[in-house]
Chain A
Amino acid sequence: MMQIYKTNFPTEQQGKDYLLNLGVILEVRGKIVFAPTTAAVVYIGKVVKIPATYDADGNILTLAVYYDGYAIDVMSSDLLTFGTFEVFPADKAAHSFYGWARGAEVPK
């Protein structure tokens, strides 16, 4: 049974370290690989809160505004605990897995 987790860490490095400590990803001969129970890890990065705006010629008028933090989605057959780093954007999620509902993260 696959579970989808949506997480948000202060920084990209903190997120990757957390996933390594949790065993979601492994370091094998200097390369980061998925653990056998991990189906996918998606490094989403910064999530847009307010999109940039442009004039008629395509010139940027206002820069995009981003949510704080660095977002990572995980699909795993393991029951994982991300503590306060787990988020539940549900139908407002910025990312989804193909064939799964937009708000498919746990808990349902």
Chain B
Amino acid sequence: MSNLLDKASIVLTPTAYDNGKVLCVKPSDGSGDFDFSRNSAATRVNAQGLVEDVQILSSNLVQNGDFSEQGSQLITNGGFATDSNWTLISGVTYNVGGYLDFDGSQGTGSVTNTPNTTFTLNKTYKVVYEIKNYVSGTIKFRFQGGSNTIGQQQSGDGVKTEYIVCNDSSNNNFNFFGSSSFIGSIDNVSVKEVGQNWFKDANWSIGDNVATSTGGGRMFQSISALEGNTGTKVKVSFNITEVTSGGVKVDCYGAASSVITEVGTHTFTGTTTNSLNLYINNSGTGNLVGSITNISVIEITDDTNLPRINYDGFSYQDALGSELVTNGDFSNGATGWELIGAANVANGVGNFVGSGDKILQRPNLTQGKLYKITFDILNYTSGTSRVYLGSTGDASFTATGNGTYSAILEAESSTDVVQWRSSGTTFIGSIDNCSVKEYLGQEVVPDSGCGSWLFEPQSTNLITYSEDFSQWQRVNIATEVSTTLSPDGISFMTKATFSASASNSYIRQNKTMAVGSVTSSIFVKKGNLDAFALIRIGSIDNPVSVWFNLDNGTVANSTGSPTNTSIVNYGNGVYRISATTTSATDLTLTSIIQSSDTSTGNPTENATQFYWGGQIEILPYATSYIPTDGTSVTRNQDDCTNGGSAASINSTSGVLYAEISALEETSELNRHISLSSGFNVDRLYLYYTKSGEFGFAAYVGGVLQANIKYDGIIVNNSKVACKYKENDYALWVDGVEVGTDTSAGVWSSGTLDRMNFANPLGSGNNFFYGKTKCAAVFPLLTDTELAELTTI
């Protein structure tokens, strides 16, 4: 193939473009480059698998805009795995189970841990600790030194979480104190800084993934990419989650919003005018009593003729959380492990030597979440090993013989334990490399997809708020912006919680229009319970319902006669689902998105699902996502023409080659990729048609010379070569010569001078809509070369 490409005079692959130009690999001097226009923005799937507006030039420039980042652990031995690092007082002792016991005789003294760094004035810290074996009294913590920073009185078993702002730069110790009546145990103490990258006045605090203001005062951060670059066009988004009074004004280097007082996601674009900072309520403007989160700033361009290189065919891998097992490779002996029976740790492995042996750890698990457990068996002698995620009776899996084993299990109970033990016959052998990580789903392997030029028809998203589901009609559903990233990697999906198991639980858009085909699509992610998402298009003469299985990425069921359905994996458990139906009459279209665990359409009560990017368009298939925010929005058609020249297209013999897939099996109008003189009288063109055919045809001086048809579909990627020579025309598809014509003329030298992804005029109704991985023009090739060129 590489040698063949050396022969080509025009080679177009998805590699480079400018605004208004699709750039060829050959010729490399620019003489073969195509003109491109669309005159609108558009989205594509980029190499990382993210839905991206091609006008966006940068990733999110805001650091920690969702206030989720946490600093390093400041407490050493907060899990009490060893009897060290804490300064104890009378009445407080280390328990061999790995926690601290308070017996009620400790008085008001302090149990102290010296943090790994001095606490910083006005910084916010997340303090977490667990009370166990609670009997009576209360306990509290403080950052000690100078003017102490003091936490709340806590009591009762459970994990206690507090966000607290350091109020003195002299704070240099962490301790539990002044809790003379407390009888119980303390475990899993953690202190981490939150709100990194932000500078804030004292009235701002950060916690639970939001920044909260109690009135005047500002918060700001510096964005290096915008320093000294005034005149940069930016798109700024933020989410106001709570307003008691006042509002929010965001000022991004001079590009500023008005004072906004409504809860919800807000977006504005502007041009930077100074070199200051990204401010939230600079000088106290806004005087907010409330909370804000998900702040993003993205550099954008005004260019509207940017071609799209779209990626698909990705590989996927497990998306996992951080390691929850301590010392899983036993390199630090038995540290972190509990050994039951005769189980022991030696030579860097955990050993099972007899009946009743167990080796376990107590990671912090969350009931209902999935975890991936991996471990090795070595020195296998007999029996079966079983791993429980939780107590006996909870989810488990078994393993027998030497090897590496893994499984994804759901934490079915609130018991924070993972235990290795025997199953049936006593397991005699060793375990090593034990790992437990939260399983977050399958994520796209970056750069694993294949790129292609994406040319689409004009389409309008009729939904006026494609990402703001609070604007949709909702019945038995509560919606809120979640912390689950959407497929654009910037904004967040909406979490819908179904409050009833009734069949009339839905989220809906109503549209009145006259249509032939209508397609409804949306990005969906499974929530806590129900595996199915449902698109229902009703109140028309051809109503349809289509169920999609979000566990395995398949179309599960349908009623009515949908003319098209699809489910596409976007990674991290997110699928774009679509359903198409037709109507011959004016209609009121109702599109419903509904969760269901069966084919009935009834959700489980309190079940959740995540939504983003709803789209309704008058086409027989779903096109690339078109975001909307208050209006219906149109993406114009892609127009790619005028590639090549008479110098790079031989008119008397040659090969037009394309590796393409069409967007639909049949087109209402013929779709062309053509070589021509710029007029219909002299042209050679590859086409697909309304009747589901594709092929190629040639006109010389307005007289049809050849029309070789192939009865196949072209929606899957195909390699097609059209050979032309006087009395020697042939069509090759995927390595096979599928048709010939031995009585056909050709053009005089210099006649064919352009290549269009359209008819020779580059206008009208024959634009090619599809994906193009390669298009090329060759001199005449042999059959052997054509077979090689077109073999998949």
Interface residues of A (CB under 8 A from B): 2, 26, 28, 31, 33-36, 39-40, 42, 44-46, 52, 54, 56-58, 64, 73, 75, 93-100, 102
CA distance A98 to B623 in the complex (A): 14
The smallest C-beta distance from B95 to any residue of chain A, in angstroms, reads 54
The smallest C-beta distance from B624 to any residue of chain A, in angstroms, reads 10
The smallest C-beta distance from B776 to any residue of chain A, in angstroms, reads 27
Interface string of B171-193 (1 = CB under 8 A from A): 00000000000000000000000
The smallest C-beta distance from B320 to any residue of chain A, in angstroms, reads 36
Q: How many residues of B contact A (CB 8 A)?
A: 38
The smallest C-beta distance from B746 to any residue of chain A, in angstroms, reads 26
The smallest C-beta distance from A30 to any residue of chain B, in angstroms, reads 11
In the bound complex, residues from chain B placing their C-beta under 8 Å from that of A34 are: 763-764
In the bound complex, residues from chain A placing their C-beta under 8 Å from that of B761 are: 36
Instruction: Given A95-B460, A98-B626, A99-B304, decide whether A45 and B634 contact each other with a Cβ distance below 8 A.
Output: no
Instruction: Given A2-B39, A98-B42, decide whether A42 and B460 contact each other with a Cβ distance below 8 A.
Output: yes
Which single member of A31, A54, A56, A99 contacts B40 (CB below 8 Å)?
A99
Q: Name which of B21-29, B255-263, B504-512, B730-738 contacts chain A.
A: B504-512
Where chain B touches its partner, the secondary structure class is loop
Contact between B633 and A45, CB atoms less than 8 A apart: no
In the bound complex, residues from chain A placing their C-beta under 8 Å from that of B302 are: 99
CA distance A75 to B635 in the complex (A): 11
The smallest C-beta distance from A107 to any residue of chain B, in angstroms, reads 19
Contact between A52 and B631, CB atoms less than 8 A apart: no
Interface pairs A-B: 7 shortest CB-CB? A99-B41, A39-B39, A58-B475, A98-B41, A33-B764, A40-B636, A36-B763
Contact between A58 and B508, CB atoms less than 8 A apart: yes
- Closest-by-CB residue of B relative to A66 is B512
- Asked if B55 is at the interface (CB within 8 A of a chain A CB), the reply is yes
In the bound complex, residues from chain B placing their C-beta under 8 Å from that of A56 are: 475
- Closest-by-CB residue of A relative to B458 is A40
Contact between A33 and B763, CB atoms less than 8 A apart: yes
CA distance A73 to B208 in the complex (A): 45
* Listed A/B pairs (13) with beta-carbon separation below 8 Å: A39-B38, A42-B634, A45-B514, A54-B473, A54-B475, A73-B634, A94-B464, A95-B460, A96-B632, A98-B627, A99-B42, A99-B53, A99-B55
In the bound complex, residues from chain A placing their C-beta under 8 Å from that of B636 are: 39-40, 75, 97-98
Q: Which of B53, B302, B763 has the most A CB atoms < 10 Å from its CB?
A: B763
- Closest-by-CB residue of B relative to A34 is B763
The smallest C-beta distance from B749 to any residue of chain A, in angstroms, reads 28
- Asked if B37 is at the interface (CB within 8 A of a chain A CB), the reply is yes
Contact between A28 and B633, CB atoms less than 8 A apart: no
The smallest C-beta distance from A34 to any residue of chain B, in angstroms, reads 7
- Asked if B647 is at the interface (CB within 8 A of a chain A CB), the reply is no
In the bound complex, residues from chain A placing their C-beta under 8 Å from that of B633 are: 95-98
Contact between A98 and B40, CB atoms less than 8 A apart: yes
In the bound complex, residues from chain A placing their C-beta under 8 Å from that of B40 are: 39-40, 75, 97-100
Contact between A31 and B634, CB atoms less than 8 A apart: no
CA distance A46 to B669 in the complex (A): 27
Contact between B475 and A31, CB atoms less than 8 A apart: no
CA distance A95 to B764 in the complex (A): 24
- Closest-by-CB residue of A relative to B461 is A98
- Asked if B424 is at the interface (CB within 8 A of a chain A CB), the reply is no
CA distance A73 to B634 in the complex (A): 10
Contact between A40 and B632, CB atoms less than 8 A apart: no
Contact between B631 and A102, CB atoms less than 8 A apart: yes
CA distance A73 to B633 in the complex (A): 11
CA distance A45 to B588 in the complex (A): 13
The smallest C-beta distance from B467 to any residue of chain A, in angstroms, reads 14
- Asked if B393 is at the interface (CB within 8 A of a chain A CB), the reply is no
